[in-house]
Chains A and B, each alone.
Chain A
């Protein structure tokens, strides 16, 4: 069946009784409400834990940058400045829930309890994923943009079918939000009411592309309206707000009330990766403005004012950070390079002729290297 559409070229009313056209306009973008306050339940112990994880994250991130500049890691994507967004979100998950991170979420993955040396195997190039995903319920850190959002939706849909009351949380960035996979994942989750929490860390830049060139809308959270799920925009540098928003979404998903899209507005204080030069696309002034809103220092001020932490606790965390950094150094700097030929062993159950050819080529390269 086809719908006849009268052509504008046919001129003025073709007959006197032609009915008038009618339609509804949707505003260019759905409006965001004003910020509402919500009570957040966090014990003193939990608040201290949150601070500890954020401060350790900061130290671990610094050490990973150092190790990259010493040749131990091939590249590293820093989370400096995004600790509240990552740690606050992950903190709202239960042990049986699943996390689907990207290459940026090293500290979110660390906050989930994964050993940092195992996380960094990806960046040292020794292995695709250095930890057991099933042990931590954390999927491998993905480099292809937004692909993990689909994985999260798939896992969440399967859990619903099995009546397994778990939630999948996936991160992606403002740049990845433009990818087809992100749109597909959001729509699928909306259609099937999958228990997924989408956390977009809007850190201002997709490598060098600023947010204003990424989308014409004022907030990525507005996309929730287009896929029929609740949307939340939250200050990504305020860990209490991030935790509160994500906890609300996690609880909703666990109740069976479907997915939520959360935009955590934050800023990437370091470069996209260690192989990038920020001076080519952004001003120091802009970064300086965001340094004032440093999520770790900001949270520490709140906790000190509230008498939740004292100097002794802060010093203890700092010492733990130094010890962790030293362990990273010891484990990663002189780590065995491994046998690169092994990467061909786990692609298919039986190796294909193409893989064999690639393996032969690599062996030839390695021999040339030895003679060299």
Chain B
């Protein structure tokens, strides 16, 4: 008699909690042989082809491509030809024997071990019905399925009281759905958390960067290094943070504590092919202009070619976003949680500016600061951004003393 066996999502990388279905290599109804690759799974570590441990007919693919499945949850259900032997296998693992007297302990830490029970815990249902049931909070096991092989259909669900389909996420039918994956999904979660948790306020002003732009060639000549205005602004930002240490902080939402840091680990938002990442310049307060430039270049290159170390993406205390790189004047950045503030830097452009009562062309840059109002008041935030602007306007001393 045919029987359904669930192949549970394995832990594919020593301690992972989930995997994303990159591509199905089989379809429902296909006949598969044991060890045949059935799906390509993307984990945080690699893309892996997963082979089926069972031979038979594919009954259910438990998710669409792009969907994430928790380790230990069914990935695919396979209708196998015959019930496996129920007697002990006769295989001896040292220390255990094979008898049923071995206490069967489901280990919390390794939910990936496939179920050995002969009954199917939940009746078969299509992925759509499973999703509907989950959305409606209904237990599929409690519903009598009328479909083939006891399969629970959408009609069964409705008869059992699941009155309505869940509200559609979008009122407009059609369109192209793009599931967020990888870095984009992690970014989305962080941005949402920031918006939900941090009551943010913003301050902005325009600074005259003419002198900053002018001294750049001098610095480049003395260090034989390409120094970007952005790298110089990072150095000046560190100076200002030392004067306003309250902004070099995290907010612990759980404890309602502000944690102020002595070391300045400067996060720099970098746009890459794989999404937005924040690379971290560690101990920025100890770096010279040259060291800062070099580290910024190293991190940006590593982030873009994907070779960046995970350690370089963690632990920032304050973040700077260079949206000027996209050719825009300004904007409001979203605080990188759990940090206290983020500085946005616009493009440096030549514009009319009043100097000494006369309108003259100057190189101007717009700065914006989004800050967590629980950590800082307007006085601190305004003082900080004013300080950054002052340093940009007269940068010689700050940059020379490095």
Contact = CB atoms under 8 A, between A and B. Distances in A.
B8 interface: yes
B397 interface: no
A131 B92 CA distance: 10
Nearest to B88: A336
Contact of B110 (A74, A280, A336): A74
Contacts of B11: 71, 74
Contacts of B106: 337, 369-370
Contacts of B13: 274-275
Among A131, A338, A342, max chain B CB count under 10 A is at: A338
A60 to B, nearest CB: 13
A29 interface: no
Nearest to B50: A69
Given A130-B94, A330-B89, A337 B35 contact: no
Interface stretch (A43-51, A84-92, A119-127, A255-263): A119-127
A118 B113 contact: no
Interface string A342-372: 1000000000000000000000011011101
Given A127-B94, A339-B103, A71 B112 contact: yes
Given A71-B8, A339-B102, 10 more contacts: A69-B10, A69-B12, A70-B52, A71-B114, A72-B53, A74-B14, A75-B14, A275-B14, A336-B96, A340-B107
B306 interface: yes
B295 interface: no
Interface string A101-138: 00000000000000001100100111101111000000
A331 interface: yes
A305 interface: no
A70 B35 CA distance: 9
B94 A69 contact: no
Given A339-B103, A340-B105, A334 B45 contact: no
A194 to B, nearest CB: 30
B116 A338 contact: no
B33 to A, nearest CB: 12
Give the interface size bracket for B toward A: 35 or more
Contacts of B307: 280
A127 B93 contact: yes
Chain B facing A: main interface SS: loop
B177 interface: no
B38 to A, nearest CB: 10
29 contacts: A69-B10, A69-B51, A70-B51, A70-B53, A71-B8, A71-B10, A71-B114, A74-B14, A118-B93, A118-B94, A125-B110, A127-B95, A129-B94, A274-B12, A275-B12, A276-B45, A329-B35, A330-B91, A334-B84, A334-B89, A337-B105, A337-B106, A338-B95, A340-B107, A341-B105, A342-B95, A369-B106, A370-B106, A372-B108
Nearest to A271: B46
B53 A329 contact: yes
Contacts of A368: 108
Among A71, A329, A365, max chain B CB count under 10 A is at: A71
Contact of B108 (A66, A275, A366): A366
A63 B306 CA distance: 31
A335 interface: yes
B91 A117 contact: yes
A223 B179 CA distance: 54
B97 to A, nearest CB: 8
Nearest to B103: A339
Nearest to A120: B93
A277 B46 contact: yes
B48 interface: yes
Given A275-B14, A276-B46, A331 B108 contact: no
B93 A334 contact: no
A132 B12 CA distance: 29
A338 B114 contact: no
A248 interface: no
Contacts of A330: 89, 91
Interface string B35-64: 100000000011111111100000000000
B109 interface: yes
A124 B47 CA distance: 22
B196 interface: no
A187 interface: no
Contact of A69 (B48, B105, B116): B48
Contacts of A274: 12-13, 48
A333 interface: yes
A275 to B, nearest CB: 4
B70 to A, nearest CB: 13
B114 A334 contact: yes
A137 to B, nearest CB: 17
